[in-house]
Each structure stands twice: as C-alpha cells, then as structure tokens.
Amino acid sequence: MAEIIQEEKGGGKKKAKKLLPHMDMTPMVDLMMLLITFFMLTTSLSKAKVMEITLPDKITDPNQEAPKISASRTLNIILGPDNKLYWYPGAVKPEDFNNLPPLMETDYGADGVRKLLLERNRTLAKKIDDFKNDVITGKIKIPQDSVASTIRQFGRIDDTGPIVLVKAYKNANYGNFVDILDEMNITGIARYTFMKIAWYEETMVETAAGITSTAQASAN
C-alpha cells in the first residue's frame, strides 16, 4: 500500500517533502492475470496441421479397366476391426476364393508396419534419409522449399519400392486410416493409394480375425 513516509528533519520547521509519486500496482496485476487466464483458455495457440491425400479417379465407365500394376511389387494393407492391421503381398484373384492366402497380422507401432514398409522400401528410404542429412549438414545447398519437391522426384524415378494398396474393413476407424497414411509419409513410400476393399478380402479378414460372416449378417 502506498504510504507516505514521514521523516522529521532536524526537529526544526516542517518542510513539504518532495516525494516520488508511487502507485499501487496490485489491482492492475490482478486484472492482467485475469485477462491472461481468459485468453489462455479461450484461444488455441497451435494451429492444426493438415495431411494431403489424393484419391484416384473414380471409374465410372464400366468398360474402363483399373490400371495394371505388377503383382510382385504390390503390398496390400488392410485395416481390420479392433485396431488390428493385416497385410499380404501380391494379388489375389476372385477366382481362387476357395484357396485364399492367409493374412499376416501386424500392428501400428514402430516395430510393426513401419518396419515392414521400411524393409521393402529400403533403397528409397535410405536415399531420402541421406539427402535430408546432406541438406542439414550443408553438403547440398538447396532452397528450403524445394526439398519436398526433390524428395517427390526421388519417388517418381524409384522403381524398387513397393506399391502399397490400403484398404479398410468396415469396422476400422478414422484414426487407423490417418495412422497408416502417416506411416507412408514416415517411411517415404512413393506409390500408395487407398482402395475399396474387395469382397474376397473381407472374407480373408473375417477368417483372420475370427469373425464368422453369418454372425456379421445377423449383427446387421
């Protein structure tokens, strides 16, 4: 609290003393605190980020065929129910529905699908990683905004990495979908797309997850 300190000088005549004007700041501090708390609670500091994806054209013409891709490079990843993740290499034809290959199970962690993808995408991932290191250490001088386009260029000329087809079983959730697309970006997969799940693949998931189709039908 502001107070006037009175001093007696020499005991003689009293003199009006020159005092520094002194203001009490406490209420102001209170007010400021209140405002800061209010702004902290009602605003969001960090801006949300976005992840870009591009879907292929929808095939509307029944005579048009889906683009052919080589089965040896194909890797199918299926998002299963209950946060499970399945994969199989190559392609399955609807004709061999009696003899469907088993699905391999993996998980969303660093030792699961990330390792799986990195093993297959080793050359490209190594190239991108080396390039990024060179940029950081200054061996390659390149403007910051063309780094991403250079990496994309690596992907375009790469012909060893897998072609990943992501498919989702109906019980999967959106978090799984974002996670798997994120893994593609982390491991630098150049070619991936999202597709509708085929009926025989649904059967494969149901076998692997132990859901019987009849149970599924009665649940619906």
Partner 1 sequence: MPKIKLPTKSPHIDMTPMVDTFAVILIFLLLTSQMRSPEPANVDTPFSISEKPTPDFNMMTFLLSPDGKVFMNFDNGPDTAFKFRPKILSEMGIRYGIEFTENQLREFEKFPSSIGVPILQMKEFLDSQDAEDRKTFQTGIPMDSTDNQLSFWILYARQVNPNIQACIKGDSKTTFETVEKVLDILQEKNVKRFNLITNLETATINLEEIQQ
Residues engaged in binding partner 1 (CB under 8 A): 1, 3, 5, 24-26, 28-29, 32-33, 35-36, 39-40, 42-58, 79, 110, 114-115, 118-119, 122, 125-126, 129, 168-179, 181-182, 185-187, 194, 196
Closest by Cα among 87, 51, 79 to 177: 79
For partner 1, the closer of residues 169 and 192 by Cβ is 169
CA distance 67 to 140: 37
For partner 1, the closer of residues 139 and 170 by Cβ is 170
For partner 1, the closer of residues 95 and 111 by Cβ is 111
For partner 1, the closer of residues 108 and 200 by Cβ is 108
CA distance 67 to 123: 25
β-pair partners for 75: 89, 164
In the complex, least distance from residue 171 CB atom to partner 1, rounded to whole angstroms: 7
The gap between the terminal CA atoms of the chain, to the nearest Å, is 73
In the complex, least distance from residue 99 CB atom to partner 1, rounded to whole angstroms: 28
Closest by Cα among 108, 130, 125 to 180: 108
Contact 77, 164 (CB under 8 A): yes
Per-residue buried b or exposed e for 103-120, using 16+ beta carbons within 10 Å of the residue's own CB:
beebebeeeebbebbbeb
CA distance 55 to 43: 34
In the complex, least distance from residue 71 CB atom to partner 1, rounded to whole angstroms: 23
In the complex, least distance from residue 47 CB atom to partner 1, rounded to whole angstroms: 5
In the complex, least distance from residue 3 CB atom to partner 1, rounded to whole angstroms: 7
For partner 1, the closer of residues 71 and 110 by Cβ is 110
